[in-house]
A = this chain, B = another copy of it.
């Protein structure tokens, strides 16, 4: 993903660009690691030493408000962000804490924009918790 594409992406979501916004959005679009504020801050502050945590907080809030990124609250203790705003589910590994993307059930997807028991649905979230494939492998290896 080029910086120019990120610029286009921001404009498409009615977000006025700035060096900080471009850097943060570009990070989200090129990393599928579902980062926290701190992860983003640490990753970018080397290249952009004046970057402030407050800016990362404000910017991410702005992105979410404009539909340019998703806020994930799978775990109580960490808020994650996702540059992929398409409808998909998430899997949180309770061992290593990693978050994986998974497809969302079609029957659930179809309820977006519809009414369910009189309530208007504007947002859908679906997530799994458990032990990921990598942790299972490591577990087996350590038993041998």
Name A's B-contacting residues (CB within 8 A).
71, 73-76, 79, 91, 93-94, 100, 102, 105, 107-108, 111, 116-133, 136
Contact between A120 and B127, CB atoms less than 8 A apart = no
Identify the closest chain B residue to A104 (Cβ): B108
Identify the closest chain B residue to A113 (Cβ): B130
Residue in A71, A74, A122, A128 whose Cβ sees the most chain B Cβ within 10 Å: A128
Given A73-B73, A73-B75, A126-B108, the answer on whether A131 and B119 have CB atoms closer than 8 Å is yes
Q: How many protomers of this protein does the assembly include?
A: 2
Contact between B116 and A121, CB atoms less than 8 A apart = no
Cβ contacts under 8 Å, A119 to chain B: 91, 93, 100, 128, 130-133, 136
Cβ contacts under 8 Å, A71 to chain B: 76
When A and B form their complex, which 8 residue pairs have the shortest distance between CB atoms, in order from nearest? Answer: A118-B133, A123-B129, A122-B130, A121-B130, A120-B130, A119-B132, A120-B131, A73-B76
Interface residues of A: mostly helix, strand, loop or mixed?
A: strand
Q: Nearest chain B CB to A108's CB is how many angstroms away? A: 5
Contact between A91 and B107, CB atoms less than 8 A apart = no
